[in-house]
Amino acid sequence: MNKIFKEFTFPHGKKVRNKIALAPMTTYSSNDDLTLSNEEEIYYNSRSKNIGMVITAATAVSKNAQAFTNQISIRDGRYLESMKRLATSIKKEGALAILQIHHGGRMNQPDLYPNQDIVSASAVKAKRDYTVQPRALKTSEVYDVIDEFCNATRLAIKAGFDGVEIHGANTYLVQQFFSPHSNKRTDEFGGSLEKRLTFPLKLVDRILALKKELNEKEFIVGYRFSPEELETPGITLNHTVLLIDELASKDIDYLHVSLSNYKQTSVRNTYDLEPIVTKLVKVINKRVPLIGAGSIESNEDVDEALSLGYDLVALGMIAIADKDVVQKLMNNEIPSKEISKASLLPPQLYNRIKSWEGIKKRGYTAK
């Protein structure tokens, strides 16, 4: 058990006091001008005690990137003060502050933000009722989107964050470029599997180049990905192995896999009984640390996750329910699964979670 509470050093030298992260979680609670609200500040501060690092909610890199109601923004310098407050609320408790940078692409909802241009790799609608057919980005506009992620990174550095996590998971724009479902392009960004790698890899290269230009040697650059898609065609584990092999050869500080359960097997090929993490660990081959997430809720889960080969773990729902989860794990106590006012959640997050059927199945209660 103690292994998880030991200090860890990221490849470029940044030290973290233990190997537990807060998973990135959208709060739907920014002020109406998309700056950090007081409730969010209180929530982040409460989750930063004892934990190693806090990965923030998906933060929109541009006007067209906004995918959720009241989603915090880092689209330009007007948001710098808001971002400084976010970084400070985390860092003053001794945790590392990692900003998740995000673009929703074709997952953006048409009625959420007026005059939003809903764009993607290609004009293919997602298989979700609330989505619309997006407009395919022109080649020059794809480079503009990469610039937006770089601007967000520059602002994150100015705001005092210890790193950024590229949101390449959960069906959003970065993943849309890698997916055979959403990317039918014929330019350098699409078509074959190799060309579908272009956007994520160029994005990483540009962010790493910026870090170098600014001489930010220890600044963490992480990448979150979803290993499979349910759609046909969709991302398969074979595709992902290729992406991860490429990413692991780059100068990034970590990879972060988004799963509903840290030890799950393939959802596309149910005959394949090898845990996804085992495949990932083989291809990464110790080149970069791997963060695991998905139903990690107890010391037993943490131990098993480490023995499967994850280097760090990220806590989601259990950290929403119990703000003192890390302290409890340290004391070998069982964290609470009761979501209440004492959980110090911003009201919009609390109300949403309360209405989710799925939480009961996982043993959570909300009152």
Ligand X SMILES: Cc1cc2nc3c(=O)[nH]c(=O)nc-3n(C[C@H](O)[C@H](O)[C@H](O)COP(=O)(O)O)c2cc1C
Using CA atoms, how far apart are residues 256 and 165, in angstroms rounded to an integer?
9
Indicate the DSSP class of residue 76. S
CB closer to ligand X, 275 vs 294: 294
Residue 54 touches ligand X, criterion: CB under 6 A: no
How far apart are CB 227 and ligand X at their closest, in Å? 12
Q: Coil, strand, or helix at residue 21? A: strand
By CB under 6 A, name the one of 170, 236, 266, 327 that touches ligand X. 170
Q: Looking up tokens 């959720």, which residue turns up?
A: 68
- Taking residues 284 to 303 in sequence order and writing x for each that binds ligand X by CB under 6 A, - otherwise, the string is ---------xxxx-------
Judged by CB under 6 A, the chain residues 195 through 234 that form the site for ligand X are 224
How far apart are CB 155 and ligand X at their closest, in Å? 18
CB closer to ligand X, 104 vs 134: 104
Residue 23 touches ligand X, criterion: CB under 6 A: yes
Indicate the DSSP class of residue 351. H
CB closer to ligand X, 154 vs 263: 263
By CB under 6 A, name the one of 4, 21, 25, 305 that touches ligand X. 25
How far apart are CB 68 and ligand X at their closest, in Å? 8
State the sign of the Cα–Cα–Cα–Cα dihedral 285, 287, 293, 296.
positive
With CA atoms as reference, report the closest residue to 207 among 195, 196, 188, 223.
Answer: 223
Residue 57 touches ligand X, criterion: CB under 6 A: yes
Residue 82 touches ligand X, criterion: CB under 6 A: no
Q: Are 324 and 302 in contact (CB under 8 A)?
A: no
Judged by CB under 6 A, the chain residues 34 through 53 that form the site for ligand X are none
State the sign of the Cα–Cα–Cα–Cα dihedral 339, 342, 344, 350.
positive
Using CA atoms, how far apart are residues 13 and 8, in angstroms rounded to an integer?
9
| Residue 266 backbone dihedrals phi, psi, to 5 degrees | -60, 140
CB closer to ligand X, 43 vs 136: 43
Which residues does residue 228 pair with via DSSP β-bridges, in sequence order? none
Q: Which residue is nearest to ligand X (CB)?
A: 316
Residues that bind ligand X (CB under 6 A): 23-26, 57-58, 100, 167, 169-170, 224, 258, 293-296, 315-318
